[in-house]
Structure 1
Amino acid sequence: MSTFKDRLKLGKDARKDCPRSSQNEVGNIDRDPIPLIQNSSEGRVKSLVELRYGRMLVSPFTFYRGNALLQAHDLASTPNMGMTFPICGDCHLMNFGGFATPERNLLFSVNDFDEVHPGPWEWDLKRLIASFAVAARDLRHGASVEEQVCREVVASYQKTMAICANQSALDIWYDSITYEDLLEQAKTKATIEQVERSMQKAERRTHAELLPKMTAIDEHGHLTIRDDLPEIFHLHHATSLLDASDDWLTAHSWHSIYDTFMRDYRATLAGDRRELLGRFEVQDMAFKVVGVGSVGTRCLVALLTDNQQRPLFLQFKEARQSVLARYIKAKPRARHNGQRVVEGQRLMQSASDLFLGWTTGPNGRQFYVRQLRDMKISAELETFDADTFAAYARVCARALAGAHAKASGRAAEVSGYIGRSDTLADALLRYAKDYTDQNEHDFERFQQACRKGRLIARSEADFAADHLP
């Protein structure tokens, strides 16, 4: 077995073929972004693709969030140190946040794994640092804050990876970031208040709190999920946004779809969790539109209740091929995309959702399953001052480095490559600035395509207006 020094040297030697300064390259950007955007929309619910484009059209930042495929295409031609292991694949700053462990502890980590796939760790770090640069410019923080948050990202990743390089495998496996950790590290009153508000908000985001917001009693006295277009709709109601030719509409009701989901899902849970799930009975199921990049993929939420009518909301989210798959020769171990997402999440997080599992739905589409909104919280960037924004950059990078160290077992090699200097930080700062410029250029071409009708974009208000009485 190689020694710690051997592994550090292996990382350092990788600089010969991939100098850290070469990490500033933005890749193959001599392309039309529109065909790539259209390609990423294939297989989605057609009417909801228009909503996806509407959300991407809001700002350069929502555009950046909405299309991970475009940056994956560009990154494919950039240098990397040659080390491939499971990475997030869509590591922008809004894919981090708080969530509850099965023991009801509140942790902070990467919380979106739809695109998880073996790949170069640099791709995650580059998508993260560019997202901070794009967001800082979009929120008009100024050039100095833009540079500060980018440097905070690299410095925190570098520091955390160096710490992980000296830790045992078990220490890395069990390490986590609690909200108490965030409070201890907060440097300003404003940041402390942000963390405290997030903790209070998380405590309220339970299934019981969600029940009156999402449900109603129908004319037969049954508890049902309330339609809220375009966010939530029933598959077989007049308000459905599924295309008339959609194969799911051949089912007479949602019950057969739910039964198909549950057939395989239960077997992916541990025995004690199958027992717990068995204490709930399903009441209703509806389609739920989520996020920006996921809009148009199939996502359903089921309402279950126990014998005291206490709720459990389960989310069935479509798992498609990772956007990285076409650009990386390495293959994930799992052939089922839902299993790929679940195993990636379990590998990269220190703890995961109590009901996390996977299943195959009607017509062979693949899904993963988790609880809906259970103590899950995301950053409210518009409320961040410069210090809080920098603090958030540090904690995201720390979480990413910890996830990479846990997933790979190669922290020493990565740390050896990064080293102690600012060489990588300087290169990635240039990358982030240049890619932010490129993102704005792509956004302008996207706006033009929508104006000329090459792409059709519609807002939430447009969809709601279609169904006004």
Structure 2
Amino acid sequence: MPNTLHRKYEQHYADGKARRQQCSRTRQAECTLAPNRDVVALVESTSIGRVPALAPLRYARMHASPFAFFRGMAMIQAADLAASPNSGISLQICGDAHLMNFGFFASPERQLVFDINDFDETHPGPWEWDVKRLAVSLVLASRSRGFSAATERETVLRLCGTYRRRLLAFSQMSQLDLWYCRVGFEQLLAQASDEGMRQQLMKVADKARSQTQERLLPKMTENEDGVLRLRDNPPVIFHLDDHDSPLAACDDWLGDNSLAKVQGMLNHYIATLKEDRRELLQRFRLVDVAFKVVGVGSVGTRCLVLLLQDDYDQPLFLQLKEARASVLEPFTQQCVHGNQGKRVVFGQRLMQATSDLFLGWTHSADDRHFYMRQLRDMKGAPALETFANGDELASYGQACAWTLARAHAKSGGCAAEIAGYLGESDKFDQALADYAVAYADQVEKDYALFDAAIKSGRLPCAAETR
């Protein structure tokens, strides 16, 4: 944009500033809770339609800490946020922008980029819902590491300040420049002011670069009579024909001849790809399929790993992941895409700077919706326990804020309006810090109810064995 700001920009900025009349920045501190709020009942409701035998494992992963519980129950905060004031500026948002849903992955050009990497809940919604979820996750992460109350607040102030300043800069870029903008590893490293954070970024990046299809081959497969087969590791990964598996214990999803049915889903998925990628995928054959339990919030949904090979027997691992309705949908608008997998793909392509070469969607014969992508293609993110001090955690939070601001600016086309609402003072930052601390307190209360339901036997809980 030229040095003199365009009159349209000034108008959009003024429109955003005017929105403070309906929701002042200080009101963003309000920690409103949804009416008739029943935490345990909400937890139970999210298990409907999942593999019943995997519910104890899901609850066990959520039971690890208040942060893990927060990760696994995006629905609770979505309901609370819907009851809270917002700026009235809506766009395509992530819907689950917590700290662990950011990280490194490979662009189609094989460059390491840093971005949001989970879009299961993406949907139109107020932009600040993403910022609030990220801010609360930062407070909970700080508490899990035993950092002080002053430190947890400072991490949120730094996150919000970064989001505000980056959003302002993005709002003054042309749409094409914004569309091509990405946060690369070298950019992130150059911005890291803490030496510990720099070392951690380099370590995570090195690990991510090792996550290639060839490196996955010996870890995930075994040779049976000259034929490659995915390696079983129940209850985390198992074959669909395993009569002792969690899936067989409760339902017969896909039933007999499951490989042929998965091939049908694969064919439909291939048809959703661009022509050149369809041509590429057709040079691979489906070799094996296994059920794979993933994440925290996704445990119990239908997720498969597909092993494909080309004519030279070189591997391609794809992940087929069930896409359920976004937790935001009951509070915003109905999905317009006709397939929840397509919703995920649309949101991911719109918000990410660059997306997986093989991102597409499909459905099964029983009308479950799925999206597909490569499995672990140079993916990597730091674990919470690796943050040695508040500065390292705050620096990582700022990296997440940077890429979230870029994603919002790209997805909505209304960055100038958001920038006008935020302004140049730290009023929004202070309000978000108040909100994040108060809501983290609420998460801990919710976790206590969840813990009591497990101890009483209402919610079954059984940790996985390795």
TM-score bin (small chain): over 0.9
Match for 1:433: what amino acid? V
Q: Work out the CA distance in 2 between the residues paired with 1:94 and 1:203.
A: 19
Q: Work out the CA distance in 1 between the residues paired with 2:218 and 2:301.
A: 26
Q: Work out the CA distance in 2 between the residues paired with 1:2 and 1:84.
A: 23
Q: Percent identity?
A: 48
Match for 1:165: what amino acid? S
> For 1:50, which of 46, 56, 70 is the aligned residue?
56
Partner in structure 2 of residue 354 of structure 1:
357
Aligned-residue offset at 1:84? 1.3
Partner in structure 1 of residue 313 of structure 2:
309
Match for 1:26: what amino acid? C
8 Å contact from structure 2 (residues 287, 308) kept in 1: yes
Q: Work out the CA distance in 2 between the residues paired with 1:349 and 1:245.
A: 37
Aligned-residue offset at 1:373? 0.2
8 Å contact from structure 1 (residues 268, 357) kept in 2: yes
**CA-to-partner distance for each residue in 1:273-295, whole Å, 9 max, x for gaps?**
11111111111000000000000
Q: Secondary structure at the match of 1:392?
A: helix
Partner in structure 2 of residue 241 of structure 1:
246
Task: Quote the RMSD (CA, aligned, Å).
Answer: 1.3
Aligned-residue offset at 1:235? 1.0
Partner in structure 2 of residue 365 of structure 1:
368
Partner in structure 2 of residue 221 of structure 1:
226
> For 1:278, which of 275, 279, 282 is the aligned residue?
282
8 Å contact from structure 1 (residues 18, 79) kept in 2: yes
Aligned-residue offset at 1:29? 5.2
**CA-to-partner distance for each residue in 1:205-244, whole Å, 9 max, x for gaps?**
00111111111012x3210001111110111113421144
Match for 1:360: what amino acid? H
Aligned-residue offset at 1:254? 2.7
Partner in structure 2 of residue 71 of structure 1:
77
Aligned ranges 1:63-462 → 2 under 5 Å: 63-218=69-224, 220-248=225-253, 250=255, 252-328=256-332, 330-385=333-388, 386-461=390-465
8 Å contact from structure 1 (residues 118, 332) kept in 2: no
8 Å contact from structure 1 (residues 248, 362) kept in 2: no
Aligned-residue offset at 1:2? 6.8
Q: Secondary structure at the match of 2:319?
A: strand
Q: Work out the CA distance in 2 between the residues paired with 1:243 and 1:237.
A: 7
8 Å contact from structure 2 (residues 269, 361) kept in 1: yes
Deviates more, 1:260-269 or 1:160-169: 260-269
Q: Work out the CA distance in 1 between the residues paired with 2:172 and 2:69.
A: 39
**CA-to-partner distance for each residue in 1:143-188, whole Å, 9 max, x for gaps?**
1221111111100110111001111001111110000001111213
Aligned-residue offset at 1:88? 0.4
**Runs of 4 or more above 4 Å deviation:** none
Structure 2 residues not aligned, in runs of 5+: 1-5
Q: Work out the CA distance in 1 between the residues paired with 2:60 and 2:205.
A: 31
Deviates more, 1:375-384 or 1:86-95: 375-384
8 Å contact from structure 2 (residues 235, 245) kept in 1: no
**CA-to-partner distance for each residue in 1:318-376, whole Å, 9 max, x for gaps?**
00000001111x33431210000001000001110010000011311000000000101
8 Å contact from structure 2 (residues 163, 402) kept in 1: yes
Deviates more, 1:331-340 or 1:177-186: 331-340
Q: Secondary structure at the match of 1:456?
A: coil
Q: Secondary structure at the match of 1:460?
A: coil
Q: Work out the CA distance in 1 between the residues paired with 2:162 and 2:382.
A: 18
Aligned residues: 459
Q: Work out the CA distance in 1 between the residues paired with 2:362 and 2:272.
A: 8
Aligned-residue offset at 1:120? 0.4
Q: TM-score, normalised by structure 2?
A: 0.96
8 Å contact from structure 1 (residues 47, 243) kept in 2: no
Match for 1:107: what amino acid? V
Q: TM-score, normalised by structure 1?
A: 0.96
8 Å contact from structure 1 (residues 8, 412) kept in 2: yes
Q: Work out the CA distance in 1 between the residues paired with 2:16 and 2:444.
A: 34
Sort the Cα spacing of 1:126 and 1:192 in 2 relative to 1 into closer, same or farther, 3 A: same
8 Å contact from structure 1 (residues 117, 331) kept in 2: no
Q: Work out the CA distance in 2 between the residues paired with 1:152 and 1:243.
A: 49
Aligned-residue offset at 1:457? 1.0
Match for 1:74: what amino acid? D
Q: Secondary structure at the match of 1:154?
A: helix
Match for 1:289: what amino acid? V
